[in-house]
Amino acid sequence: MNNIHKTAIIEDGAQLGDNITVGAFTIIGKDVKIGNGTTIASHTVIEGKTTIGENNQIFSHAAIGTIPQDLKFDGEDVELIIGNNNKIREYTLFNPGTIGGGSITKIGDNNLFMGYAHVAHDVIVGNNCVFANVATLAGHVEIDDNVVIGGLTPIHQFCKIGSNVMVAGGSVVTQDIPPFCLAEGNRAVLRGLNLNGLRRRFQDRSDIDAIKKAYKAIFESGNSISDVAKELLETNENKYVHELANFVIATKRGIPFNRK
């Protein structure tokens, strides 16, 4: 049984699952689909072709699925997909995709978006990420799993953030940040590995040791980072080293590190 406040507006065509709560003065558009157990607080707007999974918590004054902040957008059929068990706090803004970016913005599971966080058009977010207050993801940004973005941190369009990365609060990210790394500054640069995050998630210390050696070889040897990464793919069998090396080889915006 759903708990819908009498002042909420649910447009004809909206599809709501079971055990959903909708707060006062919230508006849910006709093309919205919401999964079981999701709670939506007061004064929230959810519109457009938006699909929200199960057991999400959406807090008051969130704007979900409103049209992209892209001047090229002209009413095309675009989509926002949100997974399960996400916490979306007050005054957050999530936009759907655009034709130029594949038409989909997609968010995974178990993420926390703190107040005023922004997810722009064509963004892809993985699972188990934390976005602190006013973290701002520009269009076409890609965020892998287990990432922490500090407060008041903008990420430039088309940037990619690898898995298990931590970006310090107040940073400005304009280039790609490889997996397992810690980045900080305006403009953000690599400050080493996110060792606290790795120790929490990796049970086998040999994996952490392998990542440490690979990081030093790539970013501290003074040699071409792409050449070192290619060599590691040929000589090292560790899957996390391969993840790091493949990211370095594939980067399009470059990686910000202090060359020796």
- Domain residue spans of the chain: 3-143, 198-250
Share of the chain above pLDDT 70, in %: 100
To the query of whether residue 122 is one of the catalytic residues in this protein, the response is yes
Provide the mean pLDDT of the chain: 98
Residue-wise pLDDT tens digits, 64-113: 999 999 999 999 999 999 999 999 999 999 999 999 999 999 999 999 99
Closest by CA position to 61, among listed 43, 78, 47 = 43
Cα dihedral 125/171/146/209 (nearest 10): 140
To the query of whether residue 139 is one of the catalytic residues in this protein, the response is yes
* Whether pLDDT at 260 is above 90: no
Strand partners, 15: 33
- Active-site residue (options: 70, 122, 144, 176): 122
Q: Give, in order, the Cα–Cα distances in Å from 220 to each of 111, 125, 186, 198, 235.
A: 33, 30, 21, 20, 18
* Whether pLDDT at 215 is above 80: yes
Tokens 């709670």, residue? 39
* Whether pLDDT at 259 is above 90: no
Strands 33-34 and 49-52: parallel
To the query of whether residue 242 is one of the catalytic residues in this protein, the response is no
Residues 6+ apart with CB under 8 A from 185: 168, 171, 172, 191
Q: Quick one: CATH architecture of 198-250? A: Up-down Bundle (1.20)
- Active-site residue (options: 43, 118, 121, 156): 121
Structure tokens at 95: 């936009």
pTM value is 0.97
How far apart are alpha carbons 169 and 149 in whole angstroms? 7
How far apart are alpha carbons 6 and 4 in whole angstroms? 6
Structure tokens at 202: 């990796």
* Whether pLDDT at 57 is above 80: yes
Let me know the angle formed at the C-alpha of 165 by 160 and 169, rounded to the nearest 5 degrees. Answer: 95
Cα dihedral 160/75/135/30 (nearest 10): -120
* Whether pLDDT at 40 is above 80: yes
Structure tokens at 23: 């707060």
- Active-site residue (options: 35, 139, 162, 197): 139
Residues 6+ apart with CB under 8 A from 33: 14, 15, 50, 51, 52
* Whether pLDDT at 168 is above 70: yes
3-143, CATH topology level: UDP N-Acetylglucosamine Acyltransferase; domain 1 (2.160.10)
Closest by CA position to 47, among listed 72, 10, 21, 18 = 10
